[in-house]
A and B are shown apart, each in its own frame.
Chain A
Amino acid sequence: MQQSSSLRQQASFGTTTRKDAWWVEPVLVGLGFAAFIIYATFRAFENNYFEIGPYLSPFYSPKFNFDWWHMSPAFLILWIPAGFRATCYYYRKAYYRAYFADPPACAVGHFGGEKYCGETTFPLVLQNLHRYFFYLATIVLAVLWYDTVKAFFFNGAFGVSIVNLIMLANVILLSGYSFGCHACRHLVGGKLNCFSANACTKSQFKIWHWVTRLNEHHMLWAWLSLFSVGFTDFYIRQVACGAFPELQFF
């Protein structure tokens, strides 16, 4: 029997008979992530214009002020959402394709040698700790909700402005992303094999179903929430430095 090893050996980086623009998606994803990482790093180092009135940037929330910490307080926070997103199953797909090119796209030759360990060895084996980042990110999300509610009160009076509406949209999108996470889906009920066993498992089934509905659009939530968290910080920065007016409707 003739072997097809010759077919496989041709598969060096980028080799494919695909005729569509398969490279567009990884390029756009790579640029999108790079833009966010550069902006977030700049803002973390800037250590300024992150708070004005009742508004606090999500990059600096929860707000820590320790005597022993001499760098930007953003660094005390950002490792949590960064770790949550870096170990997220959607982002893993996206950056393995965009940055590791392993593979860059389906049925397109990969980059790198034959020694492939996947997520079985350090450091990628740590991807298995995604659920712990989910726990920590949920705490941060709760604080962001608190910040958002607080942003609707000006000296004790309720008010609506463009900034607190942006903050509200941001926490809604972050919640959709966080609670649609695959680890959350597993923990709330996916680990069960029998949903009908008792009242507790029946409740878990309902929660699992809601999470599944969010999870079906996890990629969309991931991108929208990434954009919204960056935009919320950007808007608060511009208001704080006086570049944008604070538009308060009532």
Chain B
Amino acid sequence: MPEATLKVFRSKGDTNTFETYKVPIEDGMVILDAIHYIQQHYAPDLAVRWNCKAAKCGSCSAEVNGKPSLMCKTRMDDFTTGEEITVEPLRTFPLVKDLVTDVSWNYQVNKKIPPFTTNDNGEWVIYQEDIERVQEFRKCIECFLCQDVCHVLRDHDRKDAFMGPRFLVRTAGLDMHPKDTLNRSKYVKEQGGIGLCNITKCCSEVCPEEIHITDNAIIPMKERVVDQFYDPVTMFLNKIFNNKKKLV
């Protein structure tokens, strides 16, 4: 049976190391299977977070050969025979142990977003063309791979000023909802730090749900911010025609 070589990140006390394991490859095997094999046969104390093993819960996010990926969606046969496969935790978030990181910062950011607000308390009739943009954003499984790969959070560590792609997607989903009555342009500019995003599209590249994060959420939100704060013509027209949405 062919074997794969995995270099897995291990945290032991104050020292972080990579440990190498040999794992037999079976048909249809994914990286998470290999990690489970290592747990069962070599390192029962290896910490890994996982749940559904179907690319729907977003728990098993890690960096495989340097690329943010879901371990349950990364197939072993994507690698060449004999290739050394590196498995690391997400770099952007504080390490808990081995492959597990503390992603709780994301939940704090989420709580601050102005929630869905409507003044329509009757029976809703919503047409497909009005909701399909928002439906794409609802596919998000909150794996936080986009947050991990975003260089504003990863390299520049601007968690103090930037909400990250995941929450720009969520804000866009709320803002574009046909029944919502808030305009979140001010929020994404001042609290969300959308100006820090320089559109390098890594978030879209790593999204396991293939959400067009940059093209369909971040750029449209940037254009809404332009409407509100940078374009004198739309600012003037908004004043004349009294934009119905409440600016927050």
CB closest chain-A residue, reference B202: A106
- Residue with the greatest number of chain A CB neighbours at <10 A, chosen from B83, B102, B219: B219
- Residues in chain B near residue A194, CB distance under 8 A: 130, 178
A4 and B101: CB pair below 8 A?
yes
> What's the dominant secondary structure at chain B's contact region?
mixed
> B22 at interface (Cβ–Cβ under 8 A)?
no
Which listed residue (B89, B175, B195) contacts A4, Cβ 8 A?
A: B89
> A3 at interface (Cβ–Cβ under 8 A)?
yes
B66 and A17: CB pair below 8 A?
yes
- Residues in chain B near residue A216, CB distance under 8 A: 215
B88 and A17: CB pair below 8 A?
yes
A96 and B129: CB pair below 8 A?
no
> B94 at interface (Cβ–Cβ under 8 A)?
yes
The interface size of chain A toward B, counting residues with CB under 8 Å, comes to 53
Binary contact readout A117-156 vs B (1 if CB under 8 angstroms, 0 otherwise):
1111000110011111000000000000000000000000
A16 and B66: CB pair below 8 A?
yes
Whole-angstrom CA separation of A102 from B198 in the bound complex: 9
A182 and B215: CB pair below 8 A?
yes
Whole-angstrom CA separation of A40 from B211 in the bound complex: 37
Query: Of A50-58, A65-73, A162-170, A183-191, which binds chain B?
Result: A183-191
Sample (17) of A-B pairs whose CB atoms are under 8 Å apart: A2-B95, A8-B154, A8-B157, A16-B66, A17-B65, A18-B67, A19-B65, A102-B151, A106-B202, A110-B151, A120-B195, A130-B226, A182-B215, A186-B223, A191-B224, A193-B177, A194-B130
> B86 at interface (Cβ–Cβ under 8 A)?
yes
Q: From residue 51 to 89 of chain A, which have CB atoms closer than 8 A to chain B? A: 89
B177 and A97: CB pair below 8 A?
no
- Residues in chain B near residue A97, CB distance under 8 A: 200
Q: A2-B96, A182-B219, A215-B215 are in contact. Are A17 and B149 (CB under 8 A)?
A: no
- Residues in chain B near residue A218, CB distance under 8 A: 215
Whole-angstrom CA separation of A191 from B14 in the bound complex: 51
A8 and B91: CB pair below 8 A?
yes
- Residues in chain B near residue A19, CB distance under 8 A: 65-66, 83, 86
> A250 at interface (Cβ–Cβ under 8 A)?
no
| Inter-chain pairs besides A11-B155, A129-B231, A186-B223, 7 sampled, C-beta below 8 Å | A6-B16, A89-B219, A96-B199, A107-B202, A118-B195, A131-B226, A191-B227
A196 and B127: CB pair below 8 A?
yes
A103 and B89: CB pair below 8 A?
no
- Residues in chain B near residue A118, CB distance under 8 A: 152, 193, 195-198
Whole-angstrom CA separation of A20 from B215 in the bound complex: 25
**Chain A interface residues toward B at CB < 8 A:** 1-8, 11, 16-20, 89, 92-93, 96-97, 102-103, 106-110, 114, 116-120, 124-125, 128-132, 182-183, 185-186, 190-191, 193-196, 205, 215-216, 218
CB closest chain-A residue, reference B64: A17
Interface size class of B (residues with CB under 8 A): 35 or more
Binary contact readout B199-236 vs A (1 if CB under 8 angstroms, 0 otherwise):
11110011000000011000110111111011100000
- Residues in chain B near residue A183, CB distance under 8 A: 223
- Residues in chain B near residue A109, CB distance under 8 A: 155
What are the 4 closest A-B residue pairs judged by CB atoms, nearest first? A18-B66, A118-B196, A17-B66, A4-B95
A103 and B92: CB pair below 8 A?
no
B230 and A128: CB pair below 8 A?
yes
Which listed residue (B83, B86, B199, B205) contacts A89, Cβ 8 A?
A: B199
A119 and B231: CB pair below 8 A?
no
- Residues in chain A near residue B177, CB distance under 8 A: 193
Whole-angstrom CA separation of A110 from B154 in the bound complex: 10
Q: A106-B205, A191-B223 are in contact. Are A1 and B200 (CB under 8 A)?
A: no
Whole-angstrom CA separation of A116 from B245 in the bound complex: 32
B231 and A131: CB pair below 8 A?
yes
B196 and A120: CB pair below 8 A?
yes
Which listed residue (A7, A89, A106, A125) contacts B16, Cβ 8 A?
A: A7
CB closest chain-B residue, reference A119: B195
CB closest chain-B residue, reference A202: B129
A3 and B226: CB pair below 8 A?
no
Q: A4-B89, A190-B223, A196-B127 are in contact. Are A116 and B196 (CB under 8 A)?
A: yes
- Residues in chain B near residue A116, CB distance under 8 A: 152, 156, 158, 196
